[in-house]
Homo-oligomer: A and B are copies of this chain.
Amino acid sequence: MVRWQPGTRARLQAVALQLFAEQGYDRTTVAEIAAAAEVTERTFFRHFADKPEVLFAGQDGFLAMFVDPVTAAPQGTAPFELIRLALDASADFFPEDRRGWSRARQHVIDANAALGERELGKLATLKARLGEVLRERAVPEPIATMAAEAAVTVFHLSFAQWIAPDEDRPFAAIAHERLDALTSLVHPAR
């Protein structure tokens, strides 16, 4: 249930998550993770720089996935449309077969303050990078910063809903619902 991709890397992530859930993140060592995945510690460190990376690996790829469509969009694309492009692209990062893993991962992160901070730091980086890219596209301030904040907020709320118990809609549908909520908040239908 917590697997979402084949191979050693995914197996290491799956068994790590299982161990974190069973005995706590802090009490689990890299040696135990490697043993449970039937590889050497050396192999673990070929895939992950350190223990937290088991949970955060791939985030650079995610950042690129989020920001690249904004960079690549035709000149003159409205900032709100750029946000939609970023969110649509980010949906590819959360296919159905990853949902179980993401839920289990979030439980581990929510139980550990240091991991929670690392997660908030990643979101702050995402906001900062998106703001930069928007300013490079000549989106003026304070619109660029508001747009980056709005995009990452919609992303964050959508992700939280995507992993909520009983939620089964795809990520993109949830994100669109939140973008629509933002639209109707600012300009309610009469």
Contact = CB atoms under 8 A, between A and B. Distances in A.
Interface string A124-143: 00000000000000000011
Overall SS of chain A's interface? helix
A154 B149 CA distance: 9
A186 B188 contact: no
Contacts of A78: 188
A79 B120 CA distance: 27
A150 B188 contact: no
A178 interface: yes
A185 B150 contact: yes
A138 to B, nearest CB: 14
Contacts of A35: none
A78 B188 CA distance: 8
- Copies of this subunit: 2
A80 B186 CA distance: 6
Contacts of A157: 142, 145-146, 149
Interface of A: 78-80, 117, 120, 142-143, 145-147, 149-150, 153-154, 157, 161, 177-178, 181-188
B177 A142 contact: yes
A187 B81 CA distance: 10
A144 to B, nearest CB: 9
Nearest to A154: B146
Contacts of A181: 142-143, 146
Contacts of A142: 157, 161, 177-178, 181
Contact of A186 (B120, B145, B177, B183): B183
Given A120-B120, A178-B142, A188 B149 contact: no
Nearest to A160: B145
